[in-house]
Amino acid sequence: MASTIWRSLMRNKTFRYGAPMLLLIIGGSFGLKEFTQIRYDAQNLKRKMDPALEELVSKKRVSLESEFEKIKDSNYEDWKNVRGPRPWEDSKSLQLEQTNSAIPKQA
């Protein structure tokens, strides 16, 4: 009796081709889930910091106000805008020219 059922199932194209396809799709889904979980676990391990380093980083929190206080008293009156060299210009000669013009000439 079991052999007759098996033979009739093997003749059925839906069972013969559809069952392996469904098994592959469902099994592949579970397999991909495991592989992607390994990937995300490895990324999380890379991002973890040493506790001592994490303590140092948390101590060095910088606020915008504290940075403003540092640069508030800077003097920008004697600041000069210096142009960088163009790609077709020789950077060494341009730097020498700018340093020579920046040095006040004694007469």
State which residues form the domain around 3. 1-60
Q: Could you tell me if residue 17 is inside a domain?
A: yes
In a domain, 24, yes or no: yes
The predicted-structure confidence for 41-74, as pLDDT tens digits, reads as follows 888 887 777 778 777 777 777 789 988 988 888 8
Q: Quick check: is 43 in a domain?
A: yes
Report yes or no on 56 lying in a domain. yes
Task: Give yes or no for residue 96 having a pLDDT over 90.
Answer: no
Output the CA torsion 38→43→47→50 (10° steps): 40
Average pLDDT in the 7-21 region? 87
Q: Tens digits of per-residue pLDDT, 17-32?
A: 888 999 999 999 999 9
Q: What's the domain count of the chain?
A: 1
CB 57 within 8 A of CB 51: no
Instruction: Note whether residue 32 is domain-resident.
Output: yes
| 94 is a domain residue | no
